[in-house]
Amino acid sequence: MQHTPLFDLSTATLVYVAPRTGTNGVSDYADDILRFARERLARVVEVRHGGSSADGVADVLRGRGEIRRAVAEAEGPVILHTEQSGGVLLPFWGLIGARASVRSATVHDAPLSVWLPFRTKLVSRNRYVQHGLHYPILPILERFERRAMRDVLLFALTRSGARATERVLAHDSVRQSFLPVPDRPQLPPLSKRPLAVGLFGYVYRGKGFDRLVELREAIDDRIEIRVAGRGTESLPAVPGVTILGAVEGPEEDAFFASIRAMIVPYGKRSSYGPETHVASSAITRALAYQTPVVATRYPGLDDEALVFETVAELAEAVTALLGDDVALDTEAERVEALRRRLTTENAFERYAEEWQRALAGVTR
């Protein structure tokens, strides 16, 4: 059986559409991927935009024009790649109708690419307008996304997310990638850290921060619960729970050095639409700090975390794990193997291989 030779990316141009640096977790992901893209492709043209609800109609039209100029002016084959996430408009609208050699996109909030395609800056100011505009036509919006993404090479960041995207968007084959584990300092072994577990991340609906009372009652009293991340400073006080607020740099290092495991008690995040499949930057941050993750079952989390059905089961597992040095050592080995595999370089190679195959089969 003969195989089609892979295309040489060193002759191709990548037009890359992503949120501006410092906007959100997707922008961090994009910055990391771009480091390797610049080394492999002849030319990389960035088109940056605002985050969720940050752009208006004029911003989207201006971005679409920038994308089209970049594609038209490029020499040789062109890959147009966008980082798609819920409520972020240009990656979705900028891809539609573009005439690149290959069009591809990462679906960060699988199984849909944009979720709220009319969520402009103005619309987002009123939740009743925002939901009133989208909720009544959800089936139509899903069909619209299917048509828009039909000939686009799609990537999802979890195994379950890739399969769900194939099903919901009626796509033949969605490739699986992953969120890379960032570089972080080496911390003390798990058994040498304080007897504590942590919740970490940005506070919003469904992340589990509203379950602190339930968690405190279920987890052994000898185990401290520590909470850190943007927005946590506004959480109500719970006896036996230490709330630190946002942590960055050395403070983030110190937070993870003060816990033996991170817990992720996710719940339903949206009141309508298909169930999301999470690619959690909080989990990759924990792995970067050699810290195991224990979670309640939610689509996407079982790629890297130990998952349980209920908070009670999670609490029982945490209590057993933190009191067993042998089990902690076993978890440390599993986390280290994940760290070695889930690198940014390996994530970029997933894209590079698929772009090479796609370009080998098309002529611009």
pLDDT exceeds cutoff 90 at 247:
yes
153 and 195 part of one domain = no
Whether residues 297 and 164 share a domain: the answer is no
Q: How many Å apart are CA 69 and CA 50, to the nearest integer?
A: 19
Q: How confident is the model at residue 276 (pLDDT cuts 50, 70, 90)?
A: confident
Q: Which pTM was predicted?
A: 0.87
**Number of compact structural domains in the chain:** 2
Give burial (CB, 10 Å; 0-12/13-18/19+) of 358.
middle
Confidence at 337, pLDDT banded by 50, 70, 90: very high
The predicted pLDDT at position 1 comes to: 41
Residues 258 and 314 in one domain: yes
Contacts of 86 (CB under 8 A, 6+ apart): 52, 108, 109, 112, 114, 115, 116
Residues 349 and 309 grouped into a single domain: no
pLDDT-based confidence at residue 271 (cuts at 50, 70, 90): low
Report the candidate in 72, 88, 73, 70 with the shortest Cα–Cα distance to residue 25.
88
**CA angle 198-243-187, nearest 5°?**
40
Q: How large is the average pLDDT for residues 299-303?
A: 87
In the beta sheet, which residues pair with residue 46?
16
Q: What was the pLDDT predicted at 66?
A: 97
**Residue 194 and residue 139 share a domain:** no
Helices (H), 44-137: 57-73, 90-93, 127-134
> Percentage of residues in the chain with pLDDT exceeding 90?
73
- 355/25: higher pLDDT: 355
pLDDT tens-digit map of 138-147: 899 999 999 9
**Where in the sequence is the domain holding 348, given as residue range(s)?**
9-180+343-360
Residues 24 and 111 in one domain: yes
* Residues 259, 216 share a domain: yes
Same structural domain, 223 and 254: yes
The larger pLDDT score, comparing residue 91 to residue 266, is at: 91
User: CA-CA distance, 63 to 292, in Å (whole number)?
Assistant: 41
Kindly state whether residue 123 falls inside one of the protein's structural domains.
yes
Q: Is residue 185 part of a domain?
A: no
Query: What CATH number is given to the structural domain containing 152?
Result: 3.40.50.2000
| Cis peptide bond prior to 274, omega within 30° of 0 | no
Same domain? 51 vs 175: yes
pLDDT for residue 355: 96
Residues 204 and 260 in one domain: yes
Q: Are residues 316 and 232 in the same domain?
A: yes
Over residues 249-260, the mean pLDDT reads: 96
Asked, for residue 304, whether it belongs to a domain, the answer is: yes
DSSP letter (8 states) at residue 269:
-
Q: Per-residue pLDDT for 73 more than 90? A: yes
Q: Quick check: helix, strand or coil at residue 247?
A: coil
* Residue 40 identity (one-letter amino acid): R
Pair (81, 222) in one structural domain: no
Q: In this structure, is residue 203 part of a structural domain?
A: yes
**Phi, psi at 294, each rounded to 5°:** -120, 125
In a domain, 2, yes or no: no
Q: Taking the alpha carbons of 331, 306, 286, 208 in that order, is the dihedral positive or negative?
A: negative
Whether 3 is covered by a domain: the verdict is no
The answer as to whether 61 is a domain residue is: yes
Predicted confidence (pLDDT) per residue in 80-90, tens digit: 999 999 889 99
Q: What is the pLDDT of residues 162-215, one digit of tens each?
A: 999 999 999 988 999 999 999 999 999 999 999 999 999 887 776 788 889 999
CA dist 198 and 181 (Å) reads 18
